[in-house]
Amino acid sequence: MSEKQNLIKEPDYGTFEEHNEASMGIQALEAPRHPWTPSKTPPIAFVIVFLTLFFLALFTLYNEAVFAGRKTAIVIDAGSSHSHFTLFTWTDESDIKSIMHCTVQQGISTLDDYDVKNHLETCLLNISRARGLWPSSTRIFLGATAGMRHLSPATADSLMTAVRSSLQDSDFDFRDEGDAAILSGSKEGLYDWITINFLSGVNGENMGVMDMGGASCQLSYECTPTEGNCSSNTMDIYFYNKFRTIFTKSEPCYGINTAHKRYLVDLISKGFYKNKSFSKEIKDPCISYPTHFKKSYLEDNQCTRLMISDSSFDESYSKLSSDFTFSFITANSTSECTTNSLFKDCIFDNCFSDYPERPYIIDEYIGEASLYWEFYKILGGKTSFSKLEEHIREQCQRQKESKNHPSDCFKINFIHKLLKDGYKFDQNDDLRFADEFRDISASWSLGFLLAKHEYFRSILNDNPA
């Protein structure tokens, strides 16, 4: 064989390929190949790598074009039962968008200091992996709500130190201690109001906002001091070229989870006073199937402490172990489901406040969070006040046929009581319940961003001189 033939001889790729070529009878018909061209068809792995790199480059170029000139920021809503991360992006205040969300179950307030970093990293790493979408200068903010407000100052401070350290070590731009803070109930309500009224626009409707989380609820609306409908729970802000007075009030023990704990403790105390002992089985007219709760779950020093209690109850209750389990069983009829003990017949230290008469300049009230998920969704969107009690009775009756959501009857009765007897809404009020508003989550997160980020200082100052 000549030297030239040796140079163009096809490399040996193993018996499997040789066997197949021979069986096809085409080996002698192949045209000569260059030495660096080992096969007529590129290996599939090469094709996959090439296409992956091609589309990655295309994706990067596309995102560079889309996000060129855009600003980005992450806001973390550190609630009592979970932490929710939202990534916002904008070129100016007219086109702000939320483009990524991530949720970690369990509230920071329930963690030990050394668990905080892992808790936050769950979502921070997910967002970091998509860093091609936005610049490295992405700001990050965290607001903690009622779960943290319920802790002792020393415990809360220690957890917030761990939070700030974790954010400082992240890939994002954490600048100031105030960028991670425990929000007061009034501030939380204010940022709710800012979110909705910012999204409705400078010439939009005048919206009031109701918000309910796991541990508290808030009501906020614009009021006019000269008309006497503001009371003392107000904050002055500069918003859209105008100084405004916002009524904002928080009820610290009227979130959906803390209210349920209070309701159960009320049933336990009534059973004790009746029988002079604790029963492991307690009738609950608000449930469709039996439920079970440990004493440790029900203990909340701020929210479940009875206003009037006798020494025999206190002594007997304190002797129960934290693992003692109370079993709640169904009653004969859900028609007896009532939450009066949380309102006008309140038996706890921390009861619902009196509210001033609301102004009639409010076009509409928006109900967010649990008011949407635990009321509007359960009732299937039926929220007309004139037929509301009828819808609630129907839903509670249907609930008896389902074991998936045994506490739904309590939730809708409690929220209805809150709206009617707490906030004193009636059929004359225009209520709307929303999970999103203009494609952005209906929550305080956007309002918090507008107040914290210097870019928006021209349209909002939540602490004017």
Q: Over the chain, what is the mean pLDDT? A: 83
- Segment 198-206 mean pLDDT: 80
pLDDT tens per residue across span 304-315: 888 776 778 888
Distance CA 209, CA 432 (A): 10
Question: How large is the average pLDDT for residues 241-247?
Answer: 92
Between 359 and 211, where is the model more confident? 211
What structural domains and CATH numbers belong to the chain?
A: 71-182 (3.30.420.40), 185-255+353-439 (3.30.420.150), 258-342 (no CATH)
* pLDDT for 312: 84
Q: Please give the positions annotated as active site.
A: 188
Q: According to the 3-state scheme, what is the secondary structure of 207-265? A: EEEEEECCCCEEEEEEECHHHCCCCCCEEEEEECCCEEEEEEEEECCCCHHHHHHHHHH
- Global pTM exceeds 0.85: no
Q: Determine the length of the chain.
A: 465
Burial of 189 (0-12, 13-18, 19+ CB in 10 A): buried
The per-residue pLDDT for 389 is: 83
Residue type, position 65, single letter = A
Which residues are paired to 25 by β-bridges? none
Query: What is the CB-side half-sphere exposure of residue 218 using CA atoms within 13 A?
Result: 29
Question: Over 80: is that where the pLDDT of 333 sits?
Answer: no
Residue 215 counted as an annotated binding residue: yes
Strand partners, 460: 239
Pairing between strand 234-239 and 243-251? antiparallel
Query: In this predicted model, what pLDDT tens digit does every residue of 172-185 receive, in sequence order?
Result: 999 999 999 999 99
Check whether 458 is labelled as a binding-site residue. Answer: no
Q: Any binding-site annotation on 214?
A: yes
Q: What is the pLDDT of residues 13-25, one digit of tens each?
A: 333 333 343 433 3
For residue 422, what pLDDT band results from cuts at 50, 70 and 90?
very high
Instruction: Determine whether the annotation assigns residue 27 to a binding site.
Output: no
How far is Cα of residue 114 from the mean position of the Cα atoms in its chain? Answer: 23
What is the pLDDT confidence band of residue 41, given thresholds at 50, 70 and 90? low
User: Among 82-96, 152-166, 345-359, which range has the highest average pLDDT?
Assistant: 152-166
How does pLDDT run across 271-300, given as a tens digit for each residue? Answer: 998 888 888 789 999 998 899 999 999 986
Q: For residue 206, what is the enclosing H or E element?
A: none
Picking from 19-23, 64-68, 295-299, 418-422, which range would have the lowest pLDDT averaged per residue?
Answer: 19-23
Determine if residue 45 is labeled as part of a ligand binding site: no
Contact 350, 252 (CB under 8 A): yes
Q: Tell me, what's the pLDDT at 444?
A: 97
Task: Please give the Cα distance from 381 to 432 (Å, whole number).
Answer: 10
Task: Measure Cα distances from 82 to 111, 144, 242, 435 in Å.
Answer: 11, 10, 35, 17
Pull the structure tokens for residue 74. Answer: 């992450």
Tell me how far apart the alpha carbons of residues 425 and 416 are, in angstroms, rounded to a whole number.
Answer: 10
Please list, in sequence order, all residues whose beta carbon lies within 8 angstroms of the beta carbon of residue 3, skipping any fewer than 6 positions away: none
Read off the pLDDT band of 7 (50, 70, 90): very low
